[in-house]
Amino acid sequence: MKTYNDIYMTARTVLRQHGVEAYNLEARILVAQAAGKTVPDLLRDLKLYTTNAVEERVMDYLERRMSGEPVAYITGTWEFYGLPMTVTPDVLIPRMDTELLVDTAKSLLIGRNMNARILDLCCGSGCITCALGHELPATKLMAVDISARALEVCRANVAANRLNGRVICMQADATSSPPLGMGQFDLIVSNPPYIASAEIMTLDHSVRDYEPIWALDGGEDGLKFYKSIIKYWKSLLKPGGYLLFEVGEGQAETVKEMLLSAGFAGADTRVDTLGVERVVFGKAYNDSEMF
């Protein structure tokens, strides 16, 4: 019989030998999942003996990981903005890059419009909705996606984070006119598909072969969703409201110009930790104030 630490060290070694950069973290996550524990609980119990069944589950997880399957899909959970998120192959795995989108939205609302009405377009797992709902407890939110399966995941995450009373989930296509009766919003936020179609096959196989292609493919130039959202959905912004996008590397200036050409009062960007312009946002005209 082996201890949790024995199994953890084996998993760590296998992951390291196969070139997994975050082998320590991934080994802890996989062993904790196999044991039905949280990572802190696993670290507390490392010296305890466990069953062969736990070791067998870890070996199965390692085999899946070595084939390229992301840890988040193996465990079915991931963390975003400090919140636990359910993830399935029907949604993209939340990325740390997207936390900048949440940070930017918060900076535009805190101290100005704490009870804002927020729309999350192409919501996927609902990670942005949940993060904003958690951080801004007076807001009301609507999460929209074209995928019914993605909305199932989103609803599960909304419920798990106790936001049911403040979040509405709706199926709609971000590339066409919005459904009637949605009302207006103080802020629209979106992390849409933005990879050019021809570049999809160049992505790492752990992304290309496991994550939903429809949630990655931004059309021929990668800008399909930005064009459509600006065209069809800007009418839902209240005067002085904001439209925020996450963008791919090298897309920021183009999207910024699209916002200005569409009649926004002004547009700006925010830079991520690697110096990439990752967020672009525009402000709708409000006669009473400037950008």
15: Cβ contacts below 8 Å, ≥ 6 apart: 23, 26, 27, 62, 65
- Cα-flanking dihedrals φ and ψ of residue 96, to 5°? -65, -30
Q: Of 73-77, 160-164, 286-290, which range is least confident?
A: 286-290
User: What architecture does CATH give domain 80-283?
Assistant: 3-Layer(aba) Sandwich (3.40)
CA angle, residues 105, 142, 123, in degrees to nearest 5: 75
Domain boundaries, the chain: 4-67, 80-283
Would you say residue 289 has pLDDT above 80?
no
Residue 288 — pLDDT band, cuts 50, 70, 90?
low
At residue 206, the pLDDT reads 87
Average pLDDT over every residue of 200-222? 92
Residue 91 — pLDDT band, cuts 50, 70, 90?
very high
How far apart are the C-alpha atoms of 41 and 131, rounded to whole Å?
25
Average pLDDT over every residue of 5-15? 96
Give 124-142 pLDDT, tens digit per residue. Answer: 999 999 999 999 999 999 9
Average pLDDT over every residue of 44-59? 96
Distance set, CA 162 to CA 7, 139, 140, 165 (Å): 35, 14, 13, 8
- Higher-pLDDT residue of 258 and 208 is 258
What are the percentages of helix, strand and coil residues in the chain, rounded to 5?
A: 45, 20, 35
Average pLDDT over every residue of 224-251? 97
Residue 287 — pLDDT band, cuts 50, 70, 90?
low
Average pLDDT over every residue of 98-106? 98
Mean pLDDT, the chain, whole residue set = 95
% of the chain at pLDDT higher than 70: 98
Average pLDDT over every residue of 212-218? 94
Alpha helices in the chain (DSSP H): 4-17, 23-35, 39-44, 52-66, 71-75, 99-109, 127-135, 148-160, 205-208, 224-233, 252-261
Residue 112 — pLDDT band, cuts 50, 70, 90?
confident
Question: Do 244 and 105 contact (CB within 8 A), yes or no?
Answer: yes
At residue 254, the pLDDT reads 98
139: Cβ contacts below 8 Å, ≥ 6 apart: 109, 114, 115, 116, 117, 118, 132, 133, 166
Residue with tokens 């800008």: 223
Question: Do 98 and 143 contact (CB within 8 A), yes or no?
Answer: no
The answer to whether the pTM exceeds 0.75 is yes
